[in-house]
């Protein structure tokens, strides 16, 4: 019997989906993003095409260890993060952090129902790099503007003032 690991974002979704899939499946949660730009540096190589320098979030190292352990006990891996650019980026980070290369399937569903989950497993795909790149562009712009502008705002206007996220501006671009 083939054993399959399904990785979702939310622990509550994991419990529900585990009930739907039953034996032969292990459903675990990533708890959202497992990688990000470093907190204490810019994390973007502006000299070489604005390449992001991701690292595993310190609070997610145990999650990655748990998922790697589960990988050893399963034959198939389904990345079942949310069907949006953030979910696609989470799947991409999981693929890289877990060393999956091309040994995974990407599944998506818009509702948490037995029918939707089973249909997704019957029609697996791969990560959509266009969505990953859209998320990366937004994250890089957030960092470039926020990381560079926030210190100026603090100095010139008011302490502890942040430029915040630039998601709306990034999406317009």
Q: Write down the pLDDT at residue 159.
A: 59
Q: What confidence tens digit (pLDDT) does each residue in 83-122 have?
A: 999 999 999 999 999 999 889 999 999 999 999 999 999 9
Strand-strand pairing, 4-8 and 25-29: parallel
Strand-strand pairing, 105-106 and 76-79: parallel
Q: Which two tokens mark 75? A: 């034959």
Helix (H) or strand (E) holding 56: strand 55-56
Q: Which two tokens mark 61? A: 């190292």
Q: Among 160, 137, 39, which residue's Cα sits nearest to residue 85? A: 137
Instruction: Say if residue 160's pLDDT is above 70.
Output: no
Q: What confidence tens digit (pLDDT) does each residue in 36-84 have?
A: 999 889 999 999 999 999 999 999 999 999 999 999 999 999 999 999 9
Q: Which two tokens mark 76? A: 């198939």
pTM given for the model: 0.87
User: Is residue 33 helix, strand or coil?
Assistant: coil
Q: What confidence tens digit (pLDDT) does each residue in 2-19 have?
A: 899 999 999 999 999 999
Q: Write down the pLDDT at residue 141.
A: 86
165 falls in which pLDDT band (50, 70, 90)? low
């Amino acid at each position: 019997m083939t054993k399959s690991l399904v990785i979702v974002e939310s622990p509550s979704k994991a419990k529900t989906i585990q009930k739907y899939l039953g034996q032969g499946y292990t459903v675990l949660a990533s708890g959202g993003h497992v990688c990000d730009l470093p907190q204490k540096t810019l994390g973007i190589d502006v000299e070489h095409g604005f390449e992001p320098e991701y690292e595993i979030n310190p609070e997610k190292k145990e999650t990655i260890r748990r998922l790697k352990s589960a990988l050893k006990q399963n034959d198939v891996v389904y990345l079942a993060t949310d069907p949006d650019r953030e979910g696609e980026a989470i799947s991409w980070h999981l693929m890289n952090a877990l060393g999956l290369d091309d040994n995974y399937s990407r599944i998506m569903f818009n509702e948490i129902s037995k029918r939707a989950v089973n249909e997704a497993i019957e029609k697996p795909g791969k990560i959509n790099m266009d969505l990953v790149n859209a998320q990366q562009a937004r994250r890089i712009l957030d960092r470039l503007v926020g990381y560079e502008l926030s210190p100026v705002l603090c100095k010139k206007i008011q302490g502890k003032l942040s430029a915040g996220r630039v998601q709306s501006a990034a999406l317009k671009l």
